[in-house]
Amino acid sequence: MPLSDHLPNSGRHGSRIEFDRVSRVYSGADHAAVSDVILTIEPGRFVVLLGPSGCGKTTLLKMVNRLIEPTSGTIRIDGEDIRQMNAATLRRRIGYVIQQTGLFPHMRIEENIAVVPRLLGWPKESISQRVDELLDLIGLPHAYRRRYPAQLSGGEQQRVGLARALAVDPSMMLMDEPFGALDAITRLRLQDELLAIHRQLGQTILFVTHDIDEAIRLADEIVVLRAGQVIQHGSPLDIVTAPADDFVRDLVGGGEALRRLSLIDAGSALNRNGNVRNEGLPAVTSDANLRTVLNLLLQTGTQKVTVTDENGAPVGTLGIPDIWSAGLERGTES
Ligand SMILES: Nc1ncnc2c1ncn2[C@@H]1O[C@H](COP(=O)(O)OP(=O)(O)O)[C@@H](O)[C@H]1O
Ligand SMILES: [Mg+2]
């Protein structure tokens, strides 16, 4: 039997996920962890749930694969109420990736990846072929098949977690801060690889993070949550340029300020008071942007830089207070 017969989604479609007034109140809690969420995720979209710790992201995600049941409201997948589905069957249609990988330590990588295909009773050779295919997809050598999770780095383990979630080609992926424990460089690489996999396979992805930069990097759409409620739902650009309220503004604030600094040049911000002498300070030309200048100040540990014209003649100095006030002025103009 060809492998494609085991992969129901090889027609490459994502599922539609609908939350229809979904709430969840934990017993003994005085407020809802998720409150009256109305949200439709269109097929094939990469949607990021963004919000601070405790705002209900994990609860919302786990209700989709019925690890948690809503107190009220309905979740539909491709139009079908998930309460009408067998929970185990539902979960096999959904790839689930969490921060603590959930790999079985006593099982080899090939066995970990093949958990669901084995449950589904695929023949041995189909499983073996699929494991190789998935190792290629996530960029690990086939020789890793025989290793145990403890013999892999954190980033490699997270790749195996991703491969396992993709094993039966699900039409949906639920990802709960999957890269949260990785170092910055590994994290960037895995984000890129996930984007490439999404472009190739076209599943619907619901991805949880509290990191605005990760959200902006990955998302087609961002859903901002606070205290169990949807505060804003839009493109990354919408969220950054038109935050719905002060809460969202604070959430995107730091990154937005840096992006703004990169649009202002040193010449327009420099301090023209006092004598301009080049006292051995680091120098930048007046067309350098303020983000570059700020980086230079932080790297060199100096108080100021000298700003020069295109001939190298000093025209002024710039320190952190000047950068600060230029950034503030431009921020209030727009
Ligand atoms: N099993 C549970 N029992 C009681 N309260 C819970 C449980 N799980 C989560 N909560 C509470 O529900 C709220 C949302 O939690 P969670 O969905 O884990 O948020 P997030 O993933 O955004 O950090 C928090 O106030 C949390 O303390
Ligand atoms: Mg969580």
Q: Which atom of ligand 1 is nearest to the CA of 31?
A: 25
Ligand 1 atom 16: residue of nearest CA: 56
* Distance from Cα 208 to the centre of ligand 2, integer Å: 8
Length of the chain: 334
Q: In a mutational test of the pocket of ligand 1, which residue from 58, 69, 231 has the highest number of ligand atoms less than 8 Å from its CB?
A: 58
Ligand closest to CA 63: 1
266 pocket-lining for ligand 1 (C-beta < 6 Å): no
- How far from 292 is each of 205, 255, 314, CA to CA, in Å? 35, 15, 18
Q: Letter for the amino acid at 297?
A: L
- Measured CA to CA, the distance from residue 12 to residue 322 in angstroms comes to 53
Q: Tokens 């492998």 appear where?
A: 3
- How far from 311 is each of 102, 238, 307, 314, CA to CA, in Å? 60, 41, 11, 9
52 pocket-lining for ligand 1 (C-beta < 6 Å): no
* Distance from Cα 198 to the centre of ligand 1, integer Å: 29
254 pocket-lining for ligand 1 (C-beta < 6 Å): no
- Measured CA to CA, the distance from residue 22 to residue 75 in angstroms comes to 7
* Distance from Cα 177 to the centre of ligand 2, integer Å: 7
Q: Which atom of ligand 1 is nearest to the CA of 53?
A: 23
- Measured CA to CA, the distance from residue 213 to residue 216 in angstroms comes to 5
Q: Write out pLDDT tens, residues 166-224.
A: 998 899 999 999 998 888 888 888 898 899 889 988 999 999 999 888 998 899 999 99
- Measured CA to CA, the distance from residue 137 to residue 132 in angstroms comes to 9
Cα Rg of the chain (Å, integer)? 25
* Topology, domain 262-333: CBS domain Like (3.90.1280)
Name the strands in the sheet holding 229-234, side by side, starting at the edge strand that comes first in the sequence.
94-98, 172-176, 204-209, 46-50, 221-226, 229-234
Q: What are phi and psi of 204, to 5 degrees?
A: -80, 130
154 pocket-lining for ligand 1 (C-beta < 6 Å): no
* Distance from Cα 228 to the centre of ligand 2, integer Å: 12
Residue 188 is predicted with a pLDDT of 87
Tokens of 328: 């503030």
Angle separating helix axes 154-166 and 124-138, nearest 10 degrees: 130
Whether 159 contacts 135, CB under 8 Å: no
Planar angle of CA 10, 46, 158, nearest 5 degrees: 80
Residue 198 is predicted with a pLDDT of 92
Residue 10 is predicted with a pLDDT of 54
- Measured CA to CA, the distance from residue 44 to residue 12 in angstroms comes to 9
Residue 273 is predicted with a pLDDT of 55
Nearest Cα to Cα of residue 54 among 250, 210, 170, 249? 210
Along the 334 residues of the chain, how does pLDDT read in single tens digits?
A: 566 666 665 556 799 999 999 999 999 999 999 999 999 999 999 999 999 999 999 999 999 999 999 999 999 999 999 999 999 889 888 999 998 778 999 999 999 999 989 988 899 999 999 999 999 988 899 999 999 999 999 899 999 999 999 998 899 999 999 998 888 888 888 898 899 889 988 999 999 999 888 998 899 999 999 999 999 999 887 887 788 999 998 888 766 667 677 778 888 887 665 556 666 888 999 989 888 888 888 888 888 899 988 888 888 888 877 887 776 665 444 4
Please list the residues that pair with 308 across neighbouring strands: 285, 314
- Report domain extents, the chain: 3-257, 262-333
Ligand closest to CA 31: 1
CATH tag for 3-257 (out of 3.30.390.30, 3.40.50.2300, 3.40.190.10, 3.40.50.300): 3.40.50.300
